[in-house]
């Protein structure tokens, strides 16, 4: 009986420590693809041109360089981290992007906004518990303008950009210096 009590206590300590090991923002990995990008590329063995912290994903369409980088065309971005949900319930999640974007929660794809297109919004519904959820968001840009926004809407609530205070990443992540 004592071993079980210790194990449960150890799990509680580990869970509490995990929450303390989070810092604000998502990790953004920006890949220069060096040529046309017409769908989501595979980048498993590719080194990102930029790896930085992004506190929010809210960029209007532009023909200039994207989001303070030197990338304007032929690139791919992967954001990863944790989405913190204050209240359990059904949520609608949105990506609005030029070109394609996707969004996963806890390993399940919720939004698919793929393809070559101007700023276009797609959504998906998901039931979320209160607490932390793994999130991954992709964007690829071929040519022309580029933009990306991620929003949410709780059941019966107002649709809004997911605020900086809802995104987190592991504290030990190494980032490029801005």
- Looking at residue 2, its pLDDT comes to 45
70: left (phi over 0), alpha (psi -120 to 50) or beta: alpha
- Find all residues with CB under 8 Å of 20, minimum gap 6, and list them: none
pLDDT in tens, 67-122: 999 999 999 999 999 999 999 999 999 999 999 999 999 999 999 999 999 999 99
Ordered structural domains, the chain, with CATH: 24-170 (3.90.182.10)
- Looking at residue 173, its pLDDT comes to 63
Quickly list H helices, the chain.
Answer: 2-20
């Amino acid at each position: 009986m004592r071993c079980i009590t210790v194990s449960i206590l150890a799990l509680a300590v580990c869970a509490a420590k995990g929450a303390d090991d989070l810092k604000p923002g998502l990790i953004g990995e920006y890949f220069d693809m060096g040529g046309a990008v017409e769908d989501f590329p595979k980048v498993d063995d590719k080194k990102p041109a930029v790896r930085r912290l992004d506190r929010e994903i809210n960029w209007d369409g532009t023909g200039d360089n994207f989001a303070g980088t030197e990338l304007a065309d032929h690139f791919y971005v992967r954001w990863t981290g944790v989405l913190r949900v204050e209240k359990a319930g059904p949520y609608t999640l949105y990506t609005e992007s030029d070109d394609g974007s996707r969004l996963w929660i806890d390993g399940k794809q919720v939004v698919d906004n793929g393809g070559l297109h101007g700023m276009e919004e797609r959504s998906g519904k998901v039931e979320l518990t209160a607490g932390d959820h793994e999130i991954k968001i992709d964007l690829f840009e071929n040519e022309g303008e580029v933009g990306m926004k991620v929003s949410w809407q709780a059941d019966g609530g107002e649709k809004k950009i997911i605020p900086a205070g809802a995104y987190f990443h592991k504290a030990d992540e190494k980032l490029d210096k801005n």
